[in-house]
Amino acid sequence: MREVSKDARELLALAGEIARIRSAPECTSRDLAIAAVAYRLIAAERDPENALPSLSPEMLPLGAPLERVLTGTSGSVEFSELRELAARENPDLAEYLGTA
């Protein structure tokens, strides 16, 4: 096997997690594409000066459960709230998300 750079290893690890979420028998190029988008967004958060422009629309409409979390109460939205929503709406992933 060829040597893998640190960035490539991180991208492959992220793609593997995406494949696991969908209970895939293998990690595919589609998982890699999704991981690349997520990786680019994470990199832009870490270093905004080197962020690449997005080719997608600014924002997709939010599903009703997500909109309720974001607008239903005052105060900051926490990572744990979003993770719990993901687990509640996808009970098959609750253990994977660490909320079971």
Number of domains in the chain: 2
**Mind listing the pLDDT tens digit for each residue in 3-24?**
888 888 998 999 999 999 989 9
For residue 57, the SS3 value is coil
Whether residues 65 and 53 share a domain: the answer is no
Mean pLDDT comparison of 15-19, 70-74, 76-80, highest-scoring range: 15-19
* Predicted pLDDT of residue 86: 87
CA distance 45 to 60: 19
Whether residues 29 and 75 share a domain: the answer is no
Whether residues 1 and 38 share a domain: the answer is yes
User: Which residues span the domain enclosing 40?
Assistant: 1-58
Q: Are 19 and 27 in contact (CB under 8 A)?
A: yes
Whether residues 50 and 69 share a domain: the answer is no
CA distance 66 to 81: 10
DSSP code of 100?
-
Looking at residue 42, its amino acid is I
